[in-house]
């Protein structure tokens, strides 16, 4: 996630952790077809219920916003999609 050619400052580690949790939980489900998009509210629920992250609602929302701003996710009709599903980090 921290590309040396990217002029933007790197994302904080906790936001990288958020990205990994969402990719693992929402976009790589076990025993289901490949998921292409997830509603933002569902992504927030995943983040708020993950015991390893222990995020407050405002922190989860901020992390999603940063990931959208940096292009790791994009939004279509209120649903999040992973910009590149080939590599997560």
Which pTM was predicted? 0.79
**For residues 7 and 23, which has the higher predicted lDDT (pLDDT)?**
23
Q: What is the pLDDT of residue 9?
A: 73
Kindly report, residue by residue over 30-78, the tens digit of the pLDDT. 555 566 789 999 999 999 999 999 999 999 999 999 999 998 999 999 8
Query: pLDDT band for position 88 (50/70/90)?
Result: very low
- Domain coordinates in residue numbering, the chain: 13-82
What is the structure's pLDDT at 39? Answer: 94
What DSSP string runs through 9-52?
PPPPHHHHHHHHHHHHHHSS-TTSPPP--EEHHHHHHHHHH-TT
| CATH architecture of the domain formed by 13-82 | Orthogonal Bundle (1.10)
């Amino acid at each position: 996630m921290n590309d040396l050619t990217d002029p933007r400052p790197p994302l904080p580690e906790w936001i990288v952790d958020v990205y990994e949790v969402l990719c693992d939980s929402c976009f790589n489900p076990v025993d289901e077809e490949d998921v292409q998009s997830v509603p933002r509210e569902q992504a927030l629920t995943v983040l708020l219920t993950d015991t390893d992250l222990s995020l407050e609602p405002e922190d989860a929302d901020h992390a999603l916003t940063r990931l959208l701003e940096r292009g790791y996710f994009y939004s279509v009709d209120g649903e999040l999609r992973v910009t590149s599903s080939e590599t997560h980090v």
